[in-house]
Copies of this chain bind each other. A is one copy, B any other.
Amino acid sequence: MLSEQELEKSPLFQNINYRDYQEILSCFQAVQRVFRSDELIYDFSTDAVGVVERGQASLIRIDEDGVSTVLEDLGTGGVFGKSLAFAGSTGDSLEVICRHPCTVVFIDYTHIFSLCGNACQRHSIVVQNMLKLVANKAQALSRRVDVLSRRSIREKLLCYFRQLSQQAENRTFTLPFSLSTLADYIATDRSAMMRELKRLREEGVVRSDGRQFTLRL
């Protein structure tokens, strides 16, 4: 259960007053839970849709050889669920893991994606909020595809750097994670990526200090 202040900042329950919020929770059979770091949040075995209200989580894929890959980064407003992510290929499993302590709301997906008998107005506001969240998710996934569809490590790096630079509205920006994770994010070998990064630095295309980078175009 959220406090009144938290409610205002809630991605899913924005623009809803406190009393309506309480009714919605029961009407939607919504469940709210708190998770600690490294806890398993969701394993794609149910039809629930989850919304990260606060904290940070990752959607990871574990293939048959046990290799795990981060498919999505879920911050505040992040959404996940069977109906939103492809149920991975047979053999590998999907999981949502807590990175930083999280508050997550679970809602049965039929309550969101189907028409509500008593077409209440609160309902439609929740749907509207959900639409925004899913649109953001689509945008984030598009960015990821943009990067991954490049043909070489160099191009992948530059593409991702440009995205970060654009988001920061600055030539200088900070990586949201470690260099090791970056290699995973662009789906390449870490050492090969380091080599390419070195080359980019030597050629003067980028400057870098730790996780802080500057594009010199």
Contacts and interface: CB of A to CB of B under 8 A. Distances in A.
A90 B149 CA distance: 16
Nearest to A114: B128
B138 A134 contact: yes
A166 interface: yes
Interface residues of A, number: 48
Given A127-B127, A131-B134, 8 more contacts: A61-B146, A84-B142, A89-B163, A113-B131, A123-B124, A137-B138, A138-B141, A141-B142
Interface of A: 15, 61, 69, 71-72, 83-86, 88-91, 112-113, 115, 119, 121, 123-125, 127-128, 130-132, 134-135, 137-139, 141-146, 148-151, 159, 162-163, 166, 187-189
